[in-house]
Chains A and B, each alone.
Chain A
Amino acid sequence: MERFIAVLIEHCAGKFPLWLAPTQVKLLPISDKFLPYCETVLQQLKAAEVRGEIDDRNEKIGKKIRDTELERVPLMLVIGEKEMNEGKVAVRRQGKGDIGVQTIDEFIALVNEEVKSKKAIE
């Protein structure tokens, strides 16, 4: 396993396919105000077996996105006023940028579908 994981890391440059990524989704609140909503979203993700984390650092959203890109986390959810009020999430994909606002159920379906199909890295 060790050698194969080494080869895999070098092959995909640390950008693991979604089904394999240690952290699949990072939740990025625009400010602390949205942390409780992020927690609610994270609980829903966990219940659906989606591996997520919240970036609760007191940083600007631009920096949070850049750092998450560097961590090679495949998906990001940017969460602000609008998302919270509408009960939605704004989805970004690593290396691709914004892919639209979705309900949490839509997002979970997207993750599940991609994990199930073992979609390879592009």
Chain B
Amino acid sequence: MLLKIKGIDTLDMIKITLPDGAVREYPQGTSAMDIAKSISEGLARKVLAAKVNDAVWDASRPINMDASLQLLTWNETDGKETFWHSSAHLMAEALEFYYPGVKFGYGPPGEKGFYYDVDFNGQNIGEDDLARIEKKMLELAKNNSVYERKEVSKPAAVKYFTEKGDPYKLEIIDRLNDGEITFYTQGGFTDLCRGPHIPNTGFIKAIKLTNIAGAYWLNDEKNKMLTRIYGVTFPSQKELDEHLVLLEEARKRDHRKLGKELELFAFSEKVGMGLPLWLPKGAMLRERLQQFLQKAQIETGYLPVVTPHIGHKNLYVTSGHYEKYGKDSFQPIKTPQEGEEFFLKPMNCPHHCEIYKTSPRSYKDLPLRLAEFGTVYRYEQHGELHGLTRVRGFTQDDAHLFCMPNQVKDEFKKVIDMVLYVLASLSFTDYTAQISLRDKEDRAKYIGSDENWALAEQAIIEAAAEKNLTTVVEYGEAAFYGPKLDFMVRDAIGRKWQLGTIQVDYNLPERFDLTYIGEDNAKHRPVMIHRAPF
């Protein structure tokens, strides 16, 4: 007994490290909200959640160990996502009011709001109903209902949703382990949920349910079609108003709408979904752009090549694409000859590797830069197709740079130069780059020598720095075959768009057994860089 009492003095306090590096001591069990209050009441009123040792927690959850802490408000992405996640629960509460007996699938937040997949079980719901649901949500929000977290045993969780009669939640619970299940309750609504959530519903001041769509349970066409309701919420009406102005502006600029009005491109169900038809004006635009890009490529020393739209199965067995994507992509084209199979090309690199192999290469030939406006075909699920941004057939401004390991940096700098030149010519002035490197801990999963990886990673970082790019470095985001750099641009109304990638590849040179004779007269493996930024 005495020992335990004696221990309290030291055990009782925890060390909290704030983002500025300051370390403060608090009693064990203090919540992020308590800490916010100890800093300032004004701050506490804005806190939505908190990052505790890199995991997002409820602001009210007691902290029992030394931890780093970042308070999350509307200004942080994680704060917004928590806000929208809680809004999805609020919408579910409103839906249960109007549609008793509805069942819920998944209801996650996203970058632009939230949705919930709902089984209305035959009850009718349409766009016209959204206004009254919004109104109910606002009414419920005003109750300032607390989002209460509760750990629940698996049998208790199963019992709750069996009684409620929700097969979707039961299916989710089935995949969870006992001991990791939590419920969240606000007002009269309880959901199976990992959380975290905002302190109470009162934070949600402005609501817009944006649209209704169909979505298969678990994204599987064999499952039941649920109703997906999208929405977005804000901590003030002013922010919602600004958002609606932006949405209206985005609607006016929608490329699908303009593509039709300006007679640039069209789609035909007979030709096939996701296969754009370029009309004369669109083709003219595309030709101009292509000529412009090709001129820039040639000035940088790229050599245009042309390869066919299909390739023998063996090509993709060698490249590894057959094993990896064969089943999920367009199925092979058969010929009258028994057993002979061709694939529509999903990328140009295997063809370009074969061009590399048409003659012996020496270090003097490198870098060898093969470029092609290559049209590729990739199967996308019907529901994933969207205008020109998600299609089943498209042309890449593709090029493959075969070089020596010590040339990677220079090649990256040249590619960056070209990308910046193109962006400037099209008045994109706001862009950033993401550099994706290996996982710091687990290096076994990557192909290629440690030395070459280190060299390439360093080369990309230095190339980006020397070109004054604003970059974010992400560890563990690299592909297993090499590090990469992605460009992200902001358009005239501030939306972010991801462009193509500059990707180092140690895998294909290996698989295709590409070599060059070095200065030392010995055979070496070239490094391959894929680049298709536009």
Contacts and interface: CB of A to CB of B under 8 A. Distances in A.
Interface of A: 1-14, 16-17, 19-23, 51, 70-72, 118, 120-121
Given A1-B395, A1-B397, A13-B492, A118 B425 contact: yes
Given A10-B254, A13-B492, A71-B262, A5 B425 contact: no
Nearest to A14: B258
B427 interface: yes
A13 B285 contact: no
A105 B255 CA distance: 35
Nearest to A10: B253
B490 to A, nearest CB: 9
A51 B284 contact: yes
A121 B425 CA distance: 9
B427 A1 contact: no
Interface in B306-359: none
Contact of B389 (A6, A14, A71): A6
Contacts of B261: 14, 70
A7 B282 contact: no
Interface of B: 250, 252-255, 258-259, 261-262, 264, 276, 280-282, 284-286, 288-290, 292, 373, 387-389, 391, 394-397, 424-428, 489, 491-492, 495, 497, 499-500, 534
Contact of A10 (B255, B262, B394, B396): B255
Nearest to B390: A3
Contacts of B292: 19-20
Q: Which 5 A-B pairs have the closest CB atoms?
A: A120-B427, A6-B388, A22-B281, A9-B255, A11-B491
A95 to B, nearest CB: 14
Contacts of A6: 255, 387-389
A4 B284 contact: no
B426 A2 contact: no
B281 A10 contact: no
A7 B495 CA distance: 10
Contacts of B428: 11
A65 to B, nearest CB: 17
A7 B286 contact: no
A52 to B, nearest CB: 12
B264 A22 contact: yes
A30 to B, nearest CB: 25
Nearest to B495: A10
A121 B495 CA distance: 18
A72 B285 CA distance: 13
B394 A120 contact: no
Contact of A4 (B250, B387, B427, B499): B499
Given A1-B396, A6-B389, A22-B281, A120 B426 contact: yes
Contacts, number: 106
A20 B388 contact: no
A58 to B, nearest CB: 21
Given A2-B394, A5-B388, A11 B426 contact: yes
A118 B288 CA distance: 12
A6 B410 CA distance: 30
A2 B277 CA distance: 11
B286 A12 contact: no
A85 B264 CA distance: 37
B427 A10 contact: no
Nearest to A71: B262
A17 B395 CA distance: 22
A12 B264 CA distance: 15
Contacts of A1: 286, 289-290, 373, 394-397, 534
B231 to A, nearest CB: 23
7 contacts: A4-B289, A6-B388, A7-B389, A17-B426, A20-B426, A22-B284, A120-B427
Contacts of B425: 17, 19, 118, 120
Which among A2, A13, A20, A118 has the highest number of chain B CB atoms within 10 Å?
A2
A20 to B, nearest CB: 5
Contacts of B388: 2-3, 5-6
Contact of B427 (A9, A23, A72, A121): A121
Contact of B259 (A9, A11, A21, A72): A9
A22 B394 contact: no
Contact of A72 (B262, B387, B391): B262
Nearest to B492: A11
Contacts of B252: 13
Contact of A5 (B286, B396, B424, B495): B286
A20 B499 contact: no
A71 B497 CA distance: 25
Nearest to B283: A22
B430 to A, nearest CB: 10
Given A17-B427, A72-B262, 4 more contacts: A1-B290, A2-B394, A9-B264, A16-B285
Contacts of B280: 22
Contacts of A5: 255, 282, 285-286, 289, 388
Contacts of A13: 252-253, 258, 492
Given A1-B289, A3-B389, A6-B387, A14 B262 contact: yes
Contacts of A120: 424-427
A7 B489 contact: yes
A97 to B, nearest CB: 21
Nearest to A16: B285
A19 B288 contact: yes
B397 to A, nearest CB: 6
Given A1-B396, A11-B428, A20 B387 contact: no
Nearest to B497: A7
A41 B312 CA distance: 53
Given A2-B276, A3-B394, A22 B255 contact: no
Contacts of A12: 426-427, 492
A6 to B, nearest CB: 4
